[in-house]
């Protein structure tokens, strides 16, 4: 899947034409397109999806100044003098997409590097994928496990192009849990003594004191939320899906420590037992949850828990090779339909996330899962989950929100100007998001234009 290429020359000035095509290679998108401080950009003649209402509105124009949306005005209102006007050609103007379950450092890491990758390997592949993610229309990602603080910082500074990142740092896993990537020969007593970190993805901690310490380390690094592995997972071959991971006390230790810093814990959990224990311990969000039953769903509703479901659907093939992983994947895929029905029936707020790991082809087609969301929601309702609703989920970071100066995922005055102009056909068929080179006409993040094919 080629990455959109765009030379710096083409990005000079407003409304510069973008050039599509090219081959996979190192960054060619300008990391920080020019921002003309004080100049107003006007986006007009669009069908507006604002991230909150599922009706598209016409006859409006959006004024952007610096990093923010200044106003949404009727088309008749005259723009300020010297404004840069962009004609959206009756296509859909919408907030940038948000992925609430991503692993920025290794979503697109080639699987053969999984064991050998050092932090710089991860950073280089991660940076390349961040640029590609922005060109896929994702302007914000919640990283639920990887050492992405340096990557986030480089993006925020404009050193490389990419989405905003809400980092969790390393996910906490108990010994033998979902973050357990050690080979049998590496387990103490069966070979060498072991590092406590697996692939810069998870960190092992057993016991409430150790959990508190590991949470504090992630917060020290700048985590906006904490991720805890509370039950079995798919890519870790040796922990059964039904295994309960972490005692209530251990999860509560993470929750209390995160709360002391004004933020929350989200848990990896598939089974009802794991979900219920986590809620009793005070977590605010459940990742996955495909094996949930009615009681677990009721408990989520009663406690106002967010449900970050990944629309895993049968794809015919998988990148997994270990039969233990494949068996676990199959039972989770089977549960996805039930999960969405339970979420709808009990009125549980749902997040959209993709969760690619060591899967360059999958990550390059990140919106495959956005399209899959169309099995349970109308296209625009699915887009609302991937914008305004996901932003509300990310706002749980409260005092640790790395982007506190404006709203995300919505088009309204004061929100960050993270915007897309998308072919109107995508409002009927989410599959169109799988061809971002042609479907995405304009990509703006932080008021800066990273792609503009509208004037071409």
Min separation Cβ 109 and Zn ion, Å = 13
In angstroms, what is the minimal distance from the CB of 135 to Zn ion? 22
Site for Zn ion, rule CB under 5 A:
355
- Token pair for residue 137? 């229309």
For Zn ion, give the closer residue by CB, 42 or 203. 203
* Smallest distance, Zn ion to C-beta of residue 305, A: 18
Least distance to Zn ion, CB of residue 144, Å: 5
Q: Which residue is nearest to Zn ion (CB)?
A: 355
- In the complex, minimum distance from the CB of residue 353 to Zn ion, in angstroms, rounded to a whole number: 8
**Which CB atom, from 3 or from 108, has the smaller least distance to Zn ion?**
108
| 93 versus 373: smaller Cβ distance to Zn ion | 373
Q: Which is nearer to Zn ion, 167 or 447 (CB)?
A: 167
Which residues, other chains included, contact 439 with Cβ-Cβ below 8 Å and sequence gap of 6+?
422, 423, 425, 426, 432, 433
Q: What are the backbone angles phi and psi of residue 393, rounded to the nearest 5°?
A: -65, -45
Query: Which residue's CB is nearer to Zn ion, number 40 or number 354?
Result: 354
Closer to Zn ion at the Cβ: 145 or 409?
A: 145
Smallest separation (angstroms) from Zn ion to the CB of 15: 39
Would you tell me the crossing angle of helices 248-260 and 272-280 to the nearest 10 degrees?
A: 50
- Which CB atom, from 30 or from 198, has the smaller least distance to Zn ion? 198
- Token digits of residue 33: 């397109």
CB of 308: closest distance to Zn ion in angstroms?
10
- For Zn ion, which is the closer residue by CB, 270 or 433? 270
CB of 151 to Zn ion, least distance (A): 17
Tokens representing 353 are: 């996330």
């Amino acid at each position: 899947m080629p990455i959109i290429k765009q030379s710096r020359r083409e990005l000079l000035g407003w409304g510069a034409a973008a050039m599509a095509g090219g081959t996979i290679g190192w960054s060619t998108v300008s990391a920080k397109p020019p921002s003309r401080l004080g100049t107003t950009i006007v986006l007009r003649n669009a069908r507006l999806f604002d991230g909150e209402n599922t009706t598209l509105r016409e006859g409006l124009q959006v004024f952007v100044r610096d990093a923010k949306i200044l106003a949404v005005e009727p088309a008749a209102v005259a723009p300020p003098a010297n404004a840069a006007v962009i004609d959206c050609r009756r296509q859909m103007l919408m907030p940038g997409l948000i992925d609430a379950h991503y692993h920025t450092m290794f979503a697109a890491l080639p699987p053969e590097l999984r064991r050998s990758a050092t932090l710089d390997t991860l950073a280089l592949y991660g940076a390349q994928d961040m640029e590609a993610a922005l060109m896929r229309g994702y302007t914000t990602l919640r990283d639920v496990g990887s050492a992405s603080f340096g990557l986030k910082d480089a993006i925020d500074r404009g050193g490389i192009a990419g989405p905003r990142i809400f980092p969790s740092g390393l996910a906490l896993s108990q010994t033998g849990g979902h973050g357990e990537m050690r080979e049998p020969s590496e387990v103490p007593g069966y070979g060498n003594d072991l590092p406590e970190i697996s692939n810069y993805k998870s960190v092992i901690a057993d016991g409430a004191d150790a959990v508190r310490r590991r949470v504090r380390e992630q917060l020290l690094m700048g985590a906006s939320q904490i991720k805890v592995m509370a039950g079995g997972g798919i890519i870790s071959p040796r922990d059964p899906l039904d295994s309960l991971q972490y005692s209530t006390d251990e999860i509560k230790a993470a929750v209390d420590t995160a709360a002391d810093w004004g933020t929350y814990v989200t848990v990896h959990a598939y089974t009802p037992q794991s979900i219920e224990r986590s809620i009793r311990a005070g977590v605010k969000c459940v990742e996955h949850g495909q094996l949930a039953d009615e009681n677990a769903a009721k408990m989520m509703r009663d406690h106002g828990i967010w449900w970050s479901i990944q629309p895993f659907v049968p794809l015919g093939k998988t990148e997994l090779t270990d039969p233990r992983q494949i068996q676990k994947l199959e039972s989770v895929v089977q549960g996805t339909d039930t999960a969405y029905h339970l979420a709808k029936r009990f009125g549980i707020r749902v997040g959209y996330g993709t969760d690619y790991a060591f899967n360059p082809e999958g990550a390059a087609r990140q919106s495959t899962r956005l399209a899959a969301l169309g099995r349970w929601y109308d296209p625009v309702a699915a887009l609302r989950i991937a914008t305004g609703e996901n932003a509300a989920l990310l706002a749980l970071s409260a005092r640790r929100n790395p982007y506190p100066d404006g709203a995300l995922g919505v088009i309204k005055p004061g929100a960050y100007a993270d915007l897309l102009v998308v072919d109107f056909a995508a409002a009927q068929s989410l599959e169109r998001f799988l061809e971002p080179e042609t479907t995405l006409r304009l990509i703006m993040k932080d008021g800066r234009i990273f792609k503009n094919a509208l004037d071409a």
